[in-house]
Amino acid sequence: MAHTQQKDNIRRFLGYGVADPDAAIACAADRATFWAVGDLGRDQKRVITVPVPLCINGLARPHALSATLAWFTPILPGRQIYRSIRLVVCEPGDELGALRIEGSRRQPDQNQSKRGTVYSRRWEGDAAPTISAEHTIDLEVQREPDQGMTIDEGVPFGLAVTFSMPGVVEIYEQSRAPIAPRLPVSAR
């Protein structure tokens, strides 16, 4: 049995790992999570821009970027592949080079990740990133061609993107600053 089939069988029964609810809910200064929601029509894609905190520039420490995408799909009863719509997060490509990260070896391969209605990718590294003050990374959420019958209606999705570098406590505040709503100043 090939190692990919063996990993596939293990994940079929055990899932992708143990959930850590405290890590999902807790706010940590060395981690920032961004949320995006939307709707994708047939053959559409949406770009989600995530700010990268400047405090990581030049630090040769372990750091990671992870993206988890979930969506509601119409089902096709009576088929082994029950979902009719598939969404994916496209590999950011060149932007990963500046952050000095690459796909984690501990995650399922791209084919295994595409089988359900939750799609996760994780990129990690420990070399020093080289970024500028206004650096962002664009993650593209894409609707793949429909499987089976064509569905014209939009599919609602949610995307969670987390950037972390353990021990660098400025990450949360520096990530929050560019996206924080500006309060209007009233004149007296």
171-176, long-range: CB < 8 A, 24+ apart: 171/29, 171/30, 171/31, 171/32, 171/53, 171/55, 171/56, 172/27, 172/28, 172/29, 172/30, 172/31, 172/32, 173/29, 174/53, 174/54, 174/55, 175/32, 175/34, 175/51, 175/52, 175/53, 176/32
Does residue 8 sit within a domain?
no
Domain that holds residue 122: 27-179
Number of structural domains (the chain) is: 1
Q: How many CB atoms lie within 10 A of CB 97?
A: 12
Report whether pLDDT(182) > 80: no
Examine residue 188 and state whether it is found in any structural domain, yes or no.
no
Quick check: is 161 in a domain? yes
Classify residue 7: in a domain, yes or no: no
In a domain, 11, yes or no: no
Q: For 6-10, 122-126, 157-161, which range has the lowest pLDDT when averaged over its residues?
A: 6-10
Residue 14 has pLDDT above 70, yes or no: no
> What CATH number should be reported for the domain holding residue 88?
2.60.120
CB atoms within 10 A of CB 180: 9
In this prediction, residues 22-43 reach a mean pLDDT of 82
Q: State the pairing for strand pair 87-89/118-125.
A: unpaired
Q: Per this entry, what is the length of the chain? A: 188
Predicted local distance difference test score (pLDDT) of residue 79:
62
In a domain, 16, yes or no: no
Beta bridge partners of 123: 65, 103
Q: Token pair for residue 152?
A: 């014209």
Please write the tens of the pLDDT for every residue from 55-99. Answer: 888 889 999 999 999 988 877 676 656 667 888 888 887 778 888
What is the C-alpha separation between 119 and 70, in angstroms, rounded? 6
User: Could you report the per-residue pLDDT of 105-118, keeping only the tens digit for each?
Assistant: 777 665 655 666 78
Q: Is residue 173 part of a domain?
A: yes
55: in domain: yes
The angle formed by the CA atoms of residues 47, 87 and 44, to the nearest 5 degrees, is 50
Indicate the residue type of 156: P
Q: What's the whole-number mean pLDDT along residues 5-10?
A: 67
